[in-house]
Amino acid sequence: MCETCGCGDPEIVPIEVQESLLAENDRQAQHNREHFDSHGVLAINLMGSPGSGKTAVLEATARARESSGGLIALSGDLATDNDASRLQAAGIPSLSITTGSACHLDARLVHRALHDLEWQDAEFLFIENVGNLVCPAIYDLGQAANVVALSVTEGEDKPLKYPVMFRAADLVLLTKVDLLPHLPQIDVHAIEDALARTMPDLNVIHVSATTGEGIKDWLGWLESRQSAEPAAVT
């Protein structure tokens, strides 16, 4: 009740909050990050459209390393554990996170999955996000870096259409480059130009999971991140 004048009207109180609605997720992500850092595990949030080649790149990564040891993966999908099964078959111990109707992974889902996976001795933990160029971009999972797989068949203007995703990317893997000879209408320079207008620190590696092209460069990038300080997330 309004106590000032005794009129009996309810009192309306304004409250200043000024807090991000992602604050709870960000707190959980920071907790995950502390886990990863304390075990020296480099966590990569691998994002991209459905069918952009995220799983295929990870399979090729396992093939290109002298041994598949040191790699581990969490794989997010709305339904099925097909991706985790493929990665298991490629020698990467993997666990699937089935999100049901959720279009993205969040820090809590990742944390819960960490309890069911022996990840502590791995060098690299790949968190293969739900195939989606929108929602996963805004959820920090505790990763050291965001990597976006973009296939040459997706169209040259994809980065311009999905700027939030490409702004968040530390690296773009331009996938399926072995198909370029069959795609005369696709201009790789146009893709890179679109990326330069959405990704502040442009960094692109051309890869083909089929031929193995670029996979060594990708491994080199991973190793350089491993020796770098864990990146602060902004």
Partner 1 sequence: MHEYSIVQSLLDRVQVEVDARGAVAVHRLRVKIGEFSGVEIELLKSAYDLFRQRTICESAELDLVPVAGRWACPSCQRTIRRGEILRCIDCDAPAKLIEGSEIILERLEMEVA
Contact positions toward partner 1, by CB under 8 A?
Answer: 1, 10-25, 102-104, 106, 134-135, 137-139, 163-164, 167, 196-202
| Phi-psi sector, 196: left (phi>0), alpha (psi -120 to 50), beta | alpha
Whichever of 112 and 216 has its CB closer to partner 1, that residue is 112
Whichever of 11 and 66 has its CB closer to partner 1, that residue is 11
- Tokens 């920071």 belong to 30
- Smallest separation, CB 60 to partner 1 (Å): 29
Distance, C-alpha 46 to centroid of its chain: 3
- Smallest separation, CB 227 to partner 1 (Å): 21
- Smallest separation, CB 62 to partner 1 (Å): 31
Q: Token digits for 35?
A: 């886990």
Whichever of 90 and 109 has its CB closer to partner 1, that residue is 109
Q: Output Rg (C-alpha) for the chain, integer angstroms.
A: 21
| Residue 180 neighbours by CB distance under 10 Å | 16
Whichever of 19 and 229 has its CB closer to partner 1, that residue is 19
- What is the greatest pairwise CA distance in the chain? 81
- Smallest separation, CB 215 to partner 1 (Å): 26
Burial (CB count within 10 angstroms: exposed 0-12, middle 13-18, buried 19+), residue 81: middle
Whichever of 59 and 140 has its CB closer to partner 1, that residue is 140
- Smallest separation, CB 68 to partner 1 (Å): 33
